[in-house]
Amino acid sequence: MKKILVLALAALLLTGCGGKKTIPPPRLTKVAALTLTPAPAVNIQEYPGLLTPLYKMNVQTNTGGIVEAILVELGQTVRKGQALARMESEVNAAQHNQAKAAYDLAKASYDRQKALYEAEVISQQAFETARSQFQQTEAQYNVAKKNLEDCTLTAPRDGVVSFINYDVGDSASRGSTVIVVADYSKIILRIGVVDRDIAKVQIGQNAAVHIDEIDRLYTGKIIGAGSLADDKTGAYPVRIEIDNSAGFIKPGMFGRARLTLEYYPNAKVVLLDTLVLRGESKGLYEISSGNIARFTPVTVNFEFEDKAYVQSPLAFGSQIVAKGQEFIVDGEEVEIVSEN
């Protein structure tokens, strides 16, 4: 019995030594794949800026002197030509009255001299002298009249009183701003656009504007785009007009404008996660016949959300690696699996 067991064991050993070994197949890198199909690509950039009135007008005193009356309040809506404030006018009123009396006498005298000249009673020289005297008196009266009118400060256009810089009794020098009137019906968002985007900004295009302080979204319109960059920031100034007829927006608030700079309805769009960096080149792994993964360089035109619009020799319908690309060696065979 022992002999039979020994012979059987020897036979097994001989079989093991003389038989062929079974080599397991290489383990393939598992990847998820997707098909490159046309998709819309939208280049939207956001720029912050300061909100200012469409117009801001400084109402200045041409006469100077003591502020006699302030006729409006902050925030009050005013109309063009409406009286806003009055400067001390006693001296100007006296000068005006004196000049008016002199003007009336000179006008009466001139009218008499003109009638006599037309009747050929006086010489042309006498008439010219009378006319010259009247014109001088008239000019003096017009100056006095304007000085008196200038004592009353009026609104240069419709708007809202945004600043009152003096109180009644204060002394204001000639040329100083007494009141500021602003047009709040339209508000301007001033932003700075970087050089790579400024050529894509078009006058008249719409912009979505969010005002953080009041948490409201408006649609504005680009009304101006500068051709010279700011010396300090290097950005190009852009002005966006926003309707503020409801009056919720206040100058000095901050807004964020979202500009749609480019739109391509049928573009090569890939997820950012599918891009691979090899050296200084970005690219995608294309899965060719035989499930061979090949690195294909691409040019990223712009990124948006979690996607990128790329230029690539890859054709629509190509299979590209969506997940697992970080484990691939260029040119290797891969195993395509479901993302789930």
pLDDT digits (tens, 9 = 90+) for 292-308: 999 999 999 999 999 99
What is the structure's pLDDT at 10? 42
* Residue 323 and residue 305 share a domain: yes
CATH at 213: 2.40.30.170
What is the structure's pLDDT at 15? 46
Residue 196 lies in a domain: yes
The answer on pLDDT for 52 being more than 80 is yes
The answer on pLDDT for 122 being more than 90 is no
Give 44's DSSP letter: E
Q: Range of 134's domain?
A: 90-150
* Residue 50 and residue 187 share a domain: yes
What is the structure's pLDDT at 4? 40
| Domains contained in the chain, number | 3
Backbone angles phi, psi at 280, to 5 degrees: -105, 5
Domain stop point among 263, 285, 301: 263
Residue 13 lies in a domain: no
Instruction: Return d(Cα 216, Cα 189) in angstroms, integer.
Output: 14
Predicted confidence band of residue 74 (pLDDT cuts 50, 70, 90) = very high
* Residue 249 and residue 190 share a domain: yes
pLDDT tens readout for residues 160-210: 999 999 999 999 999 999 999 998 899 999 999 999 999 999 999 999 999
Burial call 59-96: b when 16+ CB within 10 Å, e when fewer:
bebebebebeebebeeeeebeeeeebbebbbeebeebb
Classify residue 303 as exposed, middle or buried by CB count within 10 Å of its CB (0-12, 13-18, 19+).
middle
pLDDT tens readout for residues 305-328: 999 999 999 999 999 999 999 999
Backbone angles phi, psi at 20, to 5 degrees: -90, 140
Domain stop point among 150, 173, 196: 150
Instruction: Return d(Cα 321, Cα 284) in angstroms, integer.
Output: 7
Contact residues for 80 (Cβ-Cβ < 8 A; gap 6+): 155, 156, 157, 158
Between CA 298 and CA 303, with CA 302 as vertex, the angle to 5 degrees is 100
Contact of 339 with 321, CB cutoff 8 Å? no
Give 328's DSSP letter: P
* Residue 256 and residue 245 share a domain: yes
Strands (DSSP E) contained in 61-94 are 65-70, 77-78, 83-87
Beta-bridge partner residues of 31: 336
CATH at 327: 2.40.420.20
Residue 278 lies in a domain: yes
Instruction: Return d(Cα 340, Cα 337) in angstroms, integer.
Output: 8
What is the structure's pLDDT at 40? 96
Domain stop point among 201, 229, 263: 263
Predicted confidence band of residue 21 (pLDDT cuts 50, 70, 90) = low
* Residue 222 and residue 272 share a domain: no
Predicted confidence band of residue 22 (pLDDT cuts 50, 70, 90) = low
Residue 230 lies in a domain: yes
What is the structure's pLDDT at 20? 56
The answer on pLDDT for 16 being more than 90 is no
The answer on pLDDT for 14 being more than 70 is no
What is the structure's pLDDT at 120? 82
Residue 75 lies in a domain: no
Per the listing, tokens 């909100």 go with 51
Q: Which run of H or E residues covers position 169?
A: none
| Higher pLDDT pick, 71 / 184 | 71
Residue 125 lies in a domain: yes
* Residue 247 and residue 309 share a domain: no
Strands (DSSP E) contained in 123-176 are 152-154, 159-164, 171-172
* Residue 193 and residue 256 share a domain: yes
CATH at 108: 1.10.287.470
